[in-house]
Structure 1
């Protein structure tokens, strides 16, 4: 989530020469650090005309401290009218504009403040921040130099000077300025991080750590030096040690909001959201103008599957900061995760239309569009992907490699899911079966994982690199040094995907496979899409910018969990009614799916429907879903809404399901494989996009193509027909696991041979015709 430089804020109450009437109580509350108590007093004073223009000015300050930026604007505008020669109203309005991402308006307000008072230091610093953000570094340095001459004791100006010096690679100045701040404020986290970065650049990681340790030995109570050590350990990839240093810093400076925020961010990065959340909420209260903190809290709520809470927090942020692209993008993801696909796409489109939306907004739309029941079709996905490609620019030239069609190849795996993740369950067995004599695997892991499956990935890979903290250029350079011949992208436009890296063309051959494989990525940096003839039958090539590399059977190899519970008997035989189930995430549960499910329940007497996914563990989300169910005619007393459980328990829950109902248009992938392994057949509907045909591929690859419908009406009829034949259903269930185990879907050696042949074909195509010697 993006971080934006914000104009500097000096939260100081503005006093009049003589204070009389009822408004001094509001001023005293604001000066005493109680802006919530000050607001009603200052509102009353402003309405009564007390304090002149200073009453609405201080009311604006109080509202800003509370993060109520939209409410602060009218008060500050009133102050500007009442105090035409005063710089503060213009400066505060500029600060709000900057926080809301309105750079041009912010700059105009700051210039207006300086026109009233050329020695207004905060306005100079704020203009420097805007110039720095826009890349005008020399101009920013001039502003900060002027501001420091006017107010040499203000540490935030030294912090800005250090940051600018670092950007200019003036390491002595950066170090000196950071040291000066830490001498005054030993708990200043921003100065500590700048010191660490300057030392790292000057001396390297290990020498910089020794330097910081020496400083800390001389001043063991310095919280800032612990933050600097955390920064250096993080840069070296030693994340647990970095987190331990942040804990030390937080203990040394329990009242330093920035350090508590840093600890919260570190805990969030470590996946410890329950510990991170209170720290982040406290940091937001202390720093209501920090948009990045709100984004990180949104991430924590997302990872804990509290999507309704995330949405509420984002809506509050949008009211304060305006519809900034980063907030809109996260709001779109939250709405989509709640199954509100139309609203999600509308918000994603608003982010794309925003002048500051950029490439990230286009990629965000690609993460939402496939779920839309009407607009998520194959042609739309191709067009949206091409829009991303146009923004990224043309792909780089293919790197030079020996054009030997038969030599041993180095295959890169780019993914955040190299472990217990859908990517892992659907690729690991096939990759393990690749002939080691022909293919070296090099992993570029975007997220650290330590589970058993991650261990198996590590064992198969000749080289393992953790690259999540690196930018696209650095990863591409690493791949060039590693001599990658074929790059398998296993991320797409999903969480952690790297389309920009693919456009850098770090390998001669790039192939899309699994991992948000929803349709064409639209990139000319991708050469092939690994597929099969069910996913992309003849005639579908026009929907893809990539060439289609069709495997003879399914495009994935499912690895069944070794500890899966045994298949349970058909529950309908003892319950007296059929139980349908869907264990997919809510983003896939569309209005057409709900409409079809309502028709099925209406036609099958006594039937029940069980929905299970992590998001349904949140009460507010269950309430939203119940309202949607009712709107589509699904009776509440016949639908169970169940939250997520550990994987073993999830598999066991299939013991209570007779027939799985696959959602559409975005079909189940891993969920279909797991249902089949647990003896539960799946009724599915095939569309035209790649993700609309996952279930078809898996079912057909298991010998069950007759469980896939071509229209919504056929889908409903198919579910009703199968639910009425319990003996046939029971017989299928009893033998389904053995059938899946024997099918190509789970035949790793067979799949490995097919994958090897496909990779070799793609490589030979790149090598071109043999050249006579």
Structure 2
């Protein structure tokens, strides 16, 4: 009797404490909804006292602590919840979310899988799992988790956005565009989704179409300088704009950026001695299989380490074998994708960098706001962007006299132009693919043209020029390599066939493995450059494979990039003086098979013997340019 009575009393007491805890949890949720986190935390803490084995009390406490910025306290609360019930899906999910933010991906993954075993329809856990998998470079699995989430909630704008990002990484551009467009249909005002859609369309080669979401994003977020930077990049591909118009836009942008991010450093650690050892800092998101890294490897390998110390600031987490080669050649490697612009500027200033080099400009990972802070005494633009940045805090841009003729380009830059004696590039092929000894026109009896430039460089006007070349040479063929998007492929096919060119004369290929890409040069006689955004690496690749390049000069440095390379090899007759004469030059060159055959056997050696592949000379020229900039700084001359 007594034991039963005591049991009833104990049960009633526990029930009252549980009821009290439930009321406190409800009160805490109301306080949280009202924005009163302090009151919510107190309610949840009291609830854990009344019901120390109540999982929900600890989960809610963890949520409130995390929202207050107390990550350690939140972690402890979730750990306590899991000690009570290791299978609780919400405790597993919330703790995993914290661990993901801290970079503890392996345990986060285990917790999320536990949450999903208890609650298979837990969409938020699936989305977070996709983030954890992606952070471990397991993007196909991340996309799979998102596909499961979308089967459960097909109209989730956020999940569709994440899915679009994953598909973009997997180079499934058409599907990525569809997912992002659907996300925007469901939630039209997403700036990041508009930006991502623009990027996907640009990567597909749909340059004009990419501008619509980008400019809508700019309307919604005019303070986003990264969006404005991407628009400036696009202007270089607009044939309707003059060099002066493009410069005006860059200069206005740079002025706004420097007002928003003013110079913060007035003194620098390095001694202003003109001949001391210098620290060079390279900032890029392209230390990977990318033209920037390809060209940078040369001075990194041949640099004079007694006179220069090299720091590389990697602003992207992308890693491949080329990344490891760059890292191994640098004296210091700094992973820089997480710090803010101000934090990265502080780090560079602490590192006492003497000359800071931007390798991106208005391409890739946006870091120009960091340069506006002026963390180094001398700041330079080189390699990644053949135009002005528009910033006065970047004092110099490295170029050459062919991309930037003296007196022509200087007024169109906020930077002072430093022209290397021969070229701003030194080419090193990624692969030693054997070149054909004779061009295909010898056996076929007709000329095959080829385009190997990025799809985004092929505009509607470019298609009209190519169609006119084919019209005037009725037996000629055209091969276009690097068109992986079905939408871009259809647009090219339509633009060319609508002028009367039969599909049988066209071969359109996707992006190819490097060896297959190189071997396709053996199947063409003449490479066709694009306007107004010319080729760089692809121009070198064509010449290396014995294929001459038809190009033209325009009003911007990048419109003269291929001409700069071709002219240094003495192939002046392959350069049209203007875009209007491009078709005439291509047709005339195609009617001279003897010269095409002669060049096939001699171009590789001509290139190898030129300054364009003289790695030692190029590196000394570059280092001499750096030393000249430094000496001007020491003399009190800040370029402009």
| Pair in the same fold by TM > 0.5 | yes
Task: Work out whether 1:198 is the aligned partner of 2:70.
Answer: yes
Q: Which of 521, 524, 528 is the equivalent residue of 1:654?
A: 521
Partner in structure 2 of residue 622 of structure 1: 489
Q: Which moved more, 1:261-270 or 1:672-681?
A: 261-270
CA shift for structure 1 position 713 = 3.5
Asked whether the equivalents of residues 664 and 692 of structure 1 are also in contact (C-alpha less than 8 Å), the reply is yes
CA shift for structure 1 position 149 = 9.6
SS at match of 1:760: helix
Partner in structure 2 of residue 452 of structure 1: 321
Partner in structure 2 of residue 550 of structure 1: 419
Task: Work out whether 1:713 is the aligned partner of 2:591.
Answer: no
Q: Which of 289, 305, 309 is the equivalent residue of 1:436?
A: 305
Distance 1:693 1:232, change over 3 A: farther
Partner in structure 2 of residue 307 of structure 1: 173
Matches within 5 A, 1:655-674: 655-674=522-541
Task: Work out whether 1:362 is the aligned partner of 2:234.
Answer: no
Which deviations, in whole Å up to 9, do the C-alpha atoms of 1:603-655 show, x marking residues without a partner?
A: 22311111111xx3343442233223334554322111111111122112211
Structure 1 regions of 5+ residues with no counterpart?
Answer: 1-147
Cα RMSD (Å) of the superposition? Answer: 3.8
Partner in structure 1 of residue 617 of structure 2: 750
| Whole-angstrom CA distance in 1 between matches of 2:544 and 2:34 | 59
TM-score, normalised with respect to structure 2 = 0.84
Distance 1:312 1:633, change over 3 A: farther
CA shift for structure 1 position 491 = 1.8
| Whole-angstrom CA distance in 2 between matches of 1:591 and 1:648 | 29
CA shift for structure 1 position 479 = 1.1
Which deviations, in whole Å up to 9, do the C-alpha atoms of 1:718-766 show, x marking residues without a partner?
A: 1112212222111111121122122111111101100101111111122
Task: Work out whether 1:152 is the aligned partner of 2:21.
Answer: no
TM-score, normalised with respect to structure 1 = 0.70
Q: Which of 405, 414, 432 is the equivalent residue of 2:274?
A: 405
Matches within 5 A, 1:6-155: 152=26
Asked whether the equivalents of residues 249 and 259 of structure 1 are also in contact (C-alpha less than 8 Å), the reply is yes
Task: Work out whether 1:531 is the aligned partner of 2:396.
Answer: no
Distance 1:557 1:479, change over 3 A: same
Partner in structure 2 of residue 587 of structure 1: 456
Partner in structure 2 of residue 559 of structure 1: 428
Asked whether the equivalents of residues 379 and 396 of structure 2 are also in contact (C-alpha less than 8 Å), the reply is yes
CA shift for structure 1 position 223 = 5.5
SS at match of 1:374: coil
Matches within 5 A, 1:237-276: 250=116, 253-276=119-142
SS at match of 1:371: coil
Partner in structure 2 of residue 477 of structure 1: 346
Matches within 5 A, 1:335-350: 335-350=201-216
| Whole-angstrom CA distance in 2 between matches of 1:548 and 1:692 | 17
Partner in structure 1 of residue 555 of structure 2: 688
Distance 1:585 1:352, change over 3 A: same
Distance 1:159 1:556, change over 3 A: farther
Task: Work out whether 1:374 is the aligned partner of 2:249.
Answer: no
Structure 2 regions of 5+ residues with no counterpart?
Answer: 1-21
Which deviations, in whole Å up to 9, do the C-alpha atoms of 1:281-316 show, x marking residues without a partner?
A: 444565678655443333233333333333333333
| Whole-angstrom CA distance in 1 between matches of 2:345 and 2:307 | 23
Distance 1:149 1:422, change over 3 A: farther
Q: Which of 501, 505, 511 is the equivalent residue of 1:644?
A: 511
Distance 1:318 1:739, change over 3 A: same
CA shift for structure 1 position 704 = 2.8
Which deviations, in whole Å up to 9, do the C-alpha atoms of 1:112-155 show, x marking residues without a partner?
A: xxxxxxxxxxxxxxxxxxxxxxxxxxxxxxxxxxxx99982686
SS at match of 1:522: coil
Asked whether the equivalents of residues 223 and 252 of structure 1 are also in contact (C-alpha less than 8 Å), the reply is yes
Which deviations, in whole Å up to 9, do the C-alpha atoms of 1:633-682 show, x marking residues without a partner?
A: 54322111111111122112211111110111011111111111122111
| Whole-angstrom CA distance in 2 between matches of 1:514 and 1:734 | 30
Distance 1:259 1:658, change over 3 A: same
Q: Which moved more, 1:151-160 or 1:354-363?
A: 151-160
Which deviations, in whole Å up to 9, do the C-alpha atoms of 1:313-352 show, x marking residues without a partner?
A: 3333333323554344334334434444344335433433
Partner in structure 1 of residue 293 of structure 2: 424
SS at match of 2:236: helix
| Whole-angstrom CA distance in 2 between matches of 1:547 and 1:250 | 59
| Whole-angstrom CA distance in 2 between matches of 1:612 and 1:530 | 30
SS at match of 2:556: coil
